[in-house]
Copies of this chain bind each other. A is one copy, B any other.
Amino acid sequence: MQTKQRGSQVKISDKFWRRYMDIVRDEVIPYQWEALNDRIEGAEPSHAVENFRIAAGDTEGEYHGFVFQDSDIAKWIEAVAYSLVSDPNPELEKTVDDLIALIGRAQQKDGYLNTYFTVKEPDARWTNLRDQHELYSGGHMIEAAVAYFEATGKRELLDIMVRFAEYVDSVFGGGEGKIKGYDGHQEIELALVKLAETTGEDKYLKLSKFFIDERGRHPHFFDQEAESRGDTKPFWYYGHEYSQSHLPVREQKEAVGHSVRAVYMYSAMADLAVKTGDESLAEACKTLWENVTNRQMYITAGIGSSAFGESFSFDYDLPNDTSYTETCASIGLVFWAKRMLNLDKNAKYADVMERALYNGTISGMDLDGKKFFYVNPLEVWPKACTRHDHGHVKSVRQKWFNCACCPPNLARLVASIGKYIYTRSENELFINLYMGNAAEFEFGDEKVKITQETNYPWDQNVKMIISTTNLVEFTLGLRMPGWCRKAQLTVNGEHIDVEDVLKDGYIYLKRQWKDGDTVELALSMPVERIKAHPQVRENAGKVALQRGPIVYCIEEVDNGPNLPNIFLPKSSDTEMFFDSSLLGGVTIIKAQANRTDGSNWGQQLYTFDEQKFESTTITAIPYFAWCNREPGEMLVWINETL
């Protein structure tokens, strides 16, 4: 089952996502361009564009920024490309064209492209793959090139990156004199798959597979490389787990190390498994998927519970207040999920994808697109953020980051949201996400348009209308969300029993579709009290409120301080209201709860006296929208009492 559709074939009309796309177009993209050009007052200069100017010889100066500063430029171009598809903007396109020309001038004669090494360490190319992100930055620029070509048909950046890829192919590989290595930060692997798709060149697929196959072999490439450099310092992390190179990828059963690296690699593995039919790779992907999503994932689809190394820790270790749960990691989980759907017709991947999209990814941005979280905790006590071991947790979103990976990553995700809705195989069309959009597909010679109408995620009803000139036979696979206990389905008003046609989370509707056919799905959406696996000791005795795909939280601004003192009785009814004036329009949840009454406490810290409680009404809001009003405490997992 392989994705064929392009973003260009999907037009988003969805109220929820269109608002984010507008923000990305109107706020994030312009702001980031200013940031990349060091024109934001009070912010540390990015120097990313200036680095290219220096590398191009347009100006003189020193390199500044991280070694992977180029990737900020790449992610910005990629986001712009997706945005141009839905919202043409000749002026912006001209800016990108000029930037691409600059990139072209910064490329070396042999095809090499990396401003850090070109400007700062021209003799040190490929001497420290472990730490220096050379192929990582190149990978992001390939993704940008592919996206910009698909959006505009313009080949210039694609040609630049083809030259780069050709050069990389001449340097890395199994042949005599080539480097048998790989990058410390996976990214080129999935980028090369995209390049192969777009150019039709299998060579890039093979190069991607080389990097994946080589990873984790012994003797270890990073050790050999360090020895060649005369670098005797022990690696700062526990080991090569950091970059998932501790074992050959097919032998990896548990997600370890830096979580973004991990999911980027798993994405490439899934791609390669689909493209090459490699069963062992497919198996490894499925094993790792189960480990991540059933053992190491927060309810928000945040992943990476440890700040040290921005990494996975171990099964069921999911602290709520010190989690790392980087925005980029949840974004990477979306990338991976999308690819797993090509590998395996199972809606569980789409469940996780949806969980990430409506929770742990967009929580990384405020509702105005002006401030960002790098770390997305599930419990925040602002005062505790002064603790050294909470140093990574911010209680309010920040304007921009020194290491600015998350905002542009989020921008490219949101701008390309249309790419995640559908999965195609020859005779099947799977609908993974419900959102207002119109998309076109070809079945044989027939063009079919599908229009979704819904007020998802706030409303349970989704209407899907088929437009086609002629009758066309194909199977429509509607995702039955994992969070949904009961769905009502009609086709042209005729009831269909979902259970009868449900398989692996998809409702299969195989028929000859005609123009105007209308599928109506009602996904029962009560407030659910979610419990975590008993091994997740952080959440013992607690519940999280979820409605549809939306995970809820309680905030101090609605509920007063000291949120852990709130206890939600099992018997307490929950009510929900859509509040169009709140947080851009969200459904809120209200419930009767009890709160420890501190008024009878004197100065003493401990007592044998009975605790008193007072009744209170709690208000829960969608997690993604937290911290958009008065800053304060936030809590996802709420104590429950009998």
- Assess whether B639 is in contact with A642, with CB atoms less than 8 Å apart: no
State in angstroms the CA–CA spacing of A598 and B531 once bound together: 12
- Assess whether B483 is in contact with A608, with CB atoms less than 8 Å apart: yes
State in angstroms the CA–CA spacing of A485 and B609 once bound together: 10
A293 at the interface (CB under 8 A from B): yes
A230 at the interface (CB under 8 A from B): no
8 A Cβ contacts from A17-62 to B? none
Give A253 Cβ to nearest chain B Cβ, in Å.
14
- Assess whether A383 is in contact with B535, with CB atoms less than 8 Å apart: no
State in angstroms the CA–CA spacing of A541 and B605 once bound together: 15
- Assess whether B294 is in contact with A603, with CB atoms less than 8 Å apart: yes
Give A559 Cβ to nearest chain B Cβ, in Å.
14
- Assess whether A606 is in contact with B531, with CB atoms less than 8 Å apart: yes
Known: A295-B605, A605-B297. A389 touches B307 (CB 8 A): yes
Give A18 Cβ to nearest chain B Cβ, in Å.
29
Interface string of A525-558 (1 = CB under 8 A from B): 0001111111111101100101000000000000
State in angstroms the CA–CA spacing of A538 and B320 once bound together: 12
Residue of B nearest to A322 (CB): B389
Please indicate the chain B residues that have their CB under 8 angstroms from the CB of A384 in the complex. 317
Interface string of A259-302 (1 = CB under 8 A from B): 00000000000000000000000000000001001110101000
A314 at the interface (CB under 8 A from B): yes
Please indicate the chain B residues that have their CB under 8 angstroms from the CB of A293 in the complex. 605
A564 at the interface (CB under 8 A from B): yes
Cross-chain contact of A531 among B297, B567, B611 (Cβ < 8 A): B611
State in angstroms the CA–CA spacing of A295 and B604 once bound together: 8
Cross-chain contact of A608 among B529, B537, B541 (Cβ < 8 A): B529
Give A337 Cβ to nearest chain B Cβ, in Å.
15
A565 at the interface (CB under 8 A from B): yes
Known: A387-B313, A389-B306, A540-B639. A601 touches B485 (CB 8 A): no
A574 at the interface (CB under 8 A from B): no
Q: How many copies does the complex hold?
A: 2
Please indicate the chain B residues that have their CB under 8 angstroms from the CB of A290 in the complex. 603
State in angstroms the CA–CA spacing of A239 and B380 once bound together: 25
A68 at the interface (CB under 8 A from B): no
- Assess whether A531 is in contact with B565, with CB atoms less than 8 Å apart: no
Please indicate the chain B residues that have their CB under 8 angstroms from the CB of A307 in the complex. 388-389
Give A296 Cβ to nearest chain B Cβ, in Å.
9
Residue of B nearest to A538 (CB): B564
Give A354 Cβ to nearest chain B Cβ, in Å.
13
Please indicate the chain B residues that have their CB under 8 angstroms from the CB of A483 in the complex. 608
- Assess whether B598 is in contact with A534, with CB atoms less than 8 Å apart: yes
- Assess whether B601 is in contact with A533, with CB atoms less than 8 Å apart: yes
- Assess whether B598 is in contact with A381, with CB atoms less than 8 Å apart: no
A492 at the interface (CB under 8 A from B): no
- Assess whether B541 is in contact with A609, with CB atoms less than 8 Å apart: no
A117 at the interface (CB under 8 A from B): no
The listed residue with most B CB atoms (<10 A of its CB), out of A384, A538, A564, A639, is A564
8 A Cβ contacts from A573-608 to B? 596-598, 601, 603-608
State in angstroms the CA–CA spacing of A307 and B567 once bound together: 30
A346 at the interface (CB under 8 A from B): no
State in angstroms the CA–CA spacing of A290 and B603 once bound together: 8
Interface string of A236-261 (1 = CB under 8 A from B): 00000000000000000000000000
Residue of B nearest to A612 (CB): B534
- Assess whether B529 is in contact with A387, with CB atoms less than 8 Å apart: no
A562 at the interface (CB under 8 A from B): yes
State in angstroms the CA–CA spacing of A292 and B636 once bound together: 31
Residue of B nearest to A541 (CB): B639
- Assess whether A596 is in contact with B534, with CB atoms less than 8 Å apart: yes
Give A641 Cβ to nearest chain B Cβ, in Å.
6
Cross-chain contact of A485 among B533, B605, B608, B611 (Cβ < 8 A): B608
A308 at the interface (CB under 8 A from B): yes
Cross-chain contact of A564 among B294, B537, B563, B605 (Cβ < 8 A): B537
A616 at the interface (CB under 8 A from B): no
A488 at the interface (CB under 8 A from B): no
- Assess whether B642 is in contact with A531, with CB atoms less than 8 Å apart: no
Cross-chain contact of A606 among B532, B608, B641 (Cβ < 8 A): B532
A386 at the interface (CB under 8 A from B): yes
State in angstroms the CA–CA spacing of A563 and B383 once bound together: 28
Known: A294-B604, A535-B562. A386 touches B609 (CB 8 A): no
Would you list the 6 A-B pairs with minimal beta carbon distance, nearest first?
A: A308-B388, A537-B564, A534-B598, A540-B564, A528-B608, A534-B596
What is A's interface to B at a CB cutoff of 8 Å? 290, 293-295, 297, 299, 306-309, 313-314, 317, 322, 381, 383-384, 386-389, 483, 485, 528-538, 540-541, 544, 546, 562-565, 567, 596-598, 601, 603-609, 611, 639, 641-642
Can you list 30 A-B pairs, Cβ within 8 angstroms, ordered by A?
A290-B603, A294-B603, A294-B604, A295-B605, A297-B605, A299-B606, A306-B388, A306-B389, A307-B389, A308-B387, A308-B388, A309-B388, A313-B387, A317-B383, A317-B384, A483-B608, A528-B608, A529-B608, A530-B606, A531-B606, A534-B562, A534-B598, A535-B598, A537-B563, A540-B596, A540-B639, A541-B564, A541-B567, A541-B641, A641-B642
